[in-house]
Amino acid sequence: MISNIGSLTIGQLAPDFSATAVYDQEFIPIQLSKYIGKYVILFFYPLDFTFVCPTEITSFSDQYERFSNVNTEILGVSVDSKYAHLAWIQTDRTSGGIGDLQYPLVSDLDKTISKAYNVLNNEGVALRGLFIIDSNGIVQHSTVNNLAFGRSVDETYRILRAIQHVQSNPDEVCPADWQPGDKTMISDPIKSKEYFTAI
C-alpha cells in the first residue's frame, strides 16, 4: 500500500509506503511513516543475487552503527520477493550472498514503491536511487545511478551529517566537501565572507 504517488521533489514529504521486509531472518511489516523522529537512508537496488548490489548492501550494513549513532535508520529496497531476500541473506558472502544485515531489506514485488520514487526503469527493476529523509519525513537529498556502478557509503554519511548540521544551525550553510567539524558559512552576504578570509 502506498500514498502520495507523483513526481518526487526535494523538500516534499516522502511518499509513505507499507510493505514486508526481511530483518534478522524474519518477515516484518515496514511502514515508512513509523520512522518519523529519525532520519532515514532509503536506497533502491536492482536485484538480489547480482554483482554490484551486494557491495553496496554489505557496506551499509558494515557501517550501520555509524548511521545509528546519529539517529538514522537504513532501508534497502528492490523488486524481489521477500523469499528471495531471505534466501540471499541466508547465503554466506563468500558464496554470493550477503549474510545477516543490520537493517531491513524491503520487498517491492508490485513495484509501487519504486514507481513512487521514480526509480523504476523500462526493464522493471529499480535504478540505484538513494534518498535521505529527515526526521520530519521530508526528502532532503536524492541521487540516482544507472545499474552498472555503485554508490559511496562515505559520501552518503557526509551528506547526511551536512543536512543534520544545517537543520540544527539554520543560519549556517555547508560549503563544498564539508566534513563534520569543518568550518561552515553564515548565510548572509557580509558574514559569508568570513569563511573565505579564514581559508
- Pairwise pLDDT comparison (8 vs 34), residue with the higher score: 34
- Tell me what pLDDT residue 174 has: 94
Q: What is the 3-state secondary structure (H, E, C) of 44-106?
A: ECCCCCCCHHHHHHHHHHHCHHHHHCCCEEEEEEECCCHHHHHHHHCCCHHHCCCCCCCCCEE
* Secondary structure letter of residue 38 according to DSSP: S
Q: How confident is the model at residue 5 (pLDDT cuts 50, 70, 90)?
A: very low
Question: Which one is predicted more confidently, 189 or 114?
Answer: 114
Percentage above 70 pLDDT, the chain: 96
Domains of the chain: 18-151 (3.40.30.10)
Residues 146-174 pLDDT 10s: 999 999 999 999 999 999 999 999 999 99
Per-residue pLDDT at 140 exceeds 60: yes
Contact 151, 43 (CB under 8 A): yes
Contact 91, 59 (CB under 8 A): no
Output the pLDDT for position 189. Answer: 86
Q: Residue 4: what pLDDT?
A: 39
pLDDT, residue 123, reads 95
pTM of the model: 0.93
Active site (catalytic) residues: 53
Report pLDDT for 7: 60
Q: Write the pLDDT tens digit of every residue in 15-31.
A: 999 999 999 999 999 99
Per-residue pLDDT, 6: 43
Distance CA 8, CA 144 (A): 12
More confident residue, 113 or 3: 113
User: Is residue 192 very low, low, confident or very high in pLDDT (cuts 50, 70, 90)?
Assistant: confident
Taking only the tens place, the pLDDT of each residue in 100-139 is 999 999 999 999 999 999 999 999 999 999 999 999 999 9
